[in-house]
Amino acid sequence: MLEQLIEYDKWLLLQINGCDSHFLDHFMWLYTGKLIWAPLVLSLLYVYCRKYILDAILIILISIIVVTLCDQISSSIFKPYFARLRPTQEPELLGLVDVTNNYRGGKYGFISSHAANGIGMVCISSLLFRNKIYTISLILWALINCYTRIYLGVHYPGDIIGGILLGGIIGLAGYKSYAFIRNALFYKGWLQEKDIPYVHTNIKPILITLYATWGGVVLFSCII
């Protein structure tokens, strides 16, 4: 059963990995980078800190822990334990996987740190803001980021699914930790939606930054 799933994972990778589009090559390469999303992170920090400093400090600390756990559990525990070669490192797939800018990633790929980190942050922030437009936009952002890893050939779809599950679990645990600690400090009962200060906050700076960065990536990918 497991062998069949692995073979299907390889087959699915080859169906959706790469293409002959220079635009998509540039788009995926830019999108998967970390620095390009620094303005998005800064906009998130701005919204956190704009009104609720004590809450912001707690959320930022927990967010750092969430990202650290996602990154370290995926990279330092799962990858060396399962030792599953990335598609770009797999001898069996040599010449079959499309590679962009000769980028091949590290040796092992299960599970995806990109997927875990992205989903972890989307999960905790979506539960804080409770805004449908924000949640849909950030889930789309994270899923595109996940797809770039398959497009670039550095992860199988199974690596991505594993990262999404890990990120979702740790992100949810991060939010529950925030609620528990805040309850212990300010409330006697469990944190209700009306008690979460960010539910009705203005998240336009985050969305504007996200959409602007999307537009910039598309525009720059067309030019280069």
Is 29 part of any domain?
A: no
Q: What is the pLDDT of residues 23-41, one digit of tens each?
A: 999 999 999 999 999 999 9
Is 69 part of any domain?
A: yes
Contacts of 71 (CB under 8 A, 6+ apart): 113, 116, 117
Is 115 part of any domain?
A: yes
76-94 mean pLDDT: 93
Least trusted range by pLDDT, from 77-91, 93-107, 177-191 = 177-191
Is 18 part of any domain?
A: no
Q: What is the mean pLDDT of the chain?
A: 91
Q: What is the pLDDT of residue 152?
A: 95
Is 4 part of any domain?
A: no
Q: What is the pLDDT of residue 160?
A: 97
- Predicted confidence band at 194 (pLDDT cuts at 50, 70, 90)? low
The yes-or-no verdict on residue 193 having pLDDT over 60 is no
Domain count, the chain: 1
Residues 156, 150 contacting (CB under 8 angstroms)? yes
Two tokens, residue 178: 């925030």
CATH number, domain with residue 209: 1.20.144
Is 53 part of any domain?
A: yes
The pTM of this model reads 0.91
Is 27 part of any domain?
A: no
Q: Is 85 helix (H, G, I), strand (E, B) or coil?
A: strand
Q: What is the pLDDT of residue 51?
A: 83
Structural domain harbouring 118: 43-100+107-223
Classify burial at 4, counting beta carbons within 10 Å of its beta carbon; exposed 0-12, middle 13-18, buried 19 or more.
exposed
112-139 mean pLDDT: 96
More confident residue, 86 or 180: 86
Least trusted range by pLDDT, from 89-103, 110-124, 165-179, 186-200 = 186-200
Is 201 part of any domain?
A: yes
Two tokens, residue 81: 């334990």
194-202 mean pLDDT: 78
CA distances from 140 to 33, 86, 157 (A): 16, 24, 17
